[in-house]
Structure 1
Amino acid sequence: MIDKKSFPGQETAESTGFLLWQVTSIWQRNVAAVLRGHELTQVQFALLASLMWLEDKEEWVTQAMLARHAKLDEMMTSQVLRSLEGRKLLERHPHPHDTRAKHLVLTSSGREKAKAALPDVERVDLEYFSILADSRPNFNQSLQDLIDKGGCHG
């Protein structure tokens, strides 16, 4: 017989990472369900919504800036942007000051698609995380602290 004590994290409640993975998986399923009606994947939505936000803050938005903002791999970001460009939801132009960079611009249909999906995604967030009630700001701050800490590879 296997001794459960020899496997740290055997109990789900003892493994923060596994709990976070489970919560994320459930939340992603819920978000994916509402985004299907908008013909978007989660990554596509995250990039469109992030680009919409960044366009309001920055004069020029590059692929690298967008990938950093969304915490996504630059290669995957480039591939998804190519798909969104093919759907005429955004345009990639040469950057006026950096020949290596692409300047990203949402098209009017891309902006409308992001704006249409945003309330549905926010509703999923409010419903799913409503269990946190008054502790939600503290939970969000803890998540932000983890994001700010960044990766740690042993």
Structure 2
Amino acid sequence: MSGAHPDPTPGFLVWRLSMKWRVAVDRAIGPLGLTHAQYSLLASLLDMQQARQQPSQRQLADHTGLEPLYVSKLARALEAAGLVARTPDPADTRAVRLSLTDQGREVTHRAIEIVQQRMDELLAPTGGLDGARTKVFARELAALLDVPLNPSAKE
């Protein structure tokens, strides 16, 4: 057998790209006092609020792909920082609804601008955020994300 290394697998490349982008976002928004995970939560919350939703922590976990317990921990930290309000759900005493505070909206808008600029730079090889190859790449990634975790299980 040859000593040459095989080409990296798609899974390895996705993992490496994910780690590279996480680090890039962490560094870009660190001066705002945010981590990539906090940014993901805030940007998703803003998106959902703009769609006239006030999601529960569980709904936000489902939307972001983060574990519900992790979303709860992030929400508490963001509440302590004055960026998120956590309120009891009147329809479900076990659930907590989340919303951005005024300060949270301001910080989130600034973070989105910074992250979009950084993503445009990282996506330069595919034409930037608005590039045709980037749009194809995004569709391919979305198709992969649509595959259930257990594809053999009947839903």
Structure 1 residue runs of 5 or longer lacking an equivalent are none
Matched letter for residue 20 of structure 2: I
Which residue does the alignment assign to 1:151?
149
Residues 1:61 and 1:131: Cα distance change in structure 2 (over 3 Å): same
Structure 2 residue runs of 5 or longer lacking an equivalent are none
Which residue does the alignment assign to 2:69?
75
Which has the larger helix fraction?
Answer: 1
TM-score, normalised via structure 2 length: 0.87
Is 1:92 matched with 2:86? yes
2:99 to 85, 101, 105: 105
Matched letter for residue 143 of structure 1: L
Shift of 1:121: 0.2
3-state secondary structure, aligned to 2:150: coil
Residues 1:56 and 1:19: Cα distance change in structure 2 (over 3 Å): same
3-state secondary structure, aligned to 2:33: coil
Shift of 1:49: 0.8
Structure scoring higher RCO (CA < 8 A, sep ≥ 6) equals 1
Instruction: For 2:68 and 2:43, locate their aligned partners in 1 and report how far apart those are by CA, in whole Å.
Output: 17
Instruction: For 1:50 and 1:62, locate their aligned partners in 2 and report how far apart those are by CA, in whole Å.
Output: 12
Which residue does the alignment assign to 2:108?
114
Matched letter for residue 141 of structure 1: R
Residues 1:104 and 1:4: Cα distance change in structure 2 (over 3 Å): farther
TM-score, normalised via structure 1 length: 0.88
**What's the RMSD between the two structures over aligned residues?**
1.9
Aligned residues: 148
1:49 to 29, 43, 49: 43
User: Among the aligned pairs, what percent are the same residue?
Assistant: 30
Instruction: For 2:99 and 2:25, locate their aligned partners in 1 and report how far apart those are by CA, in whole Å.
Output: 25
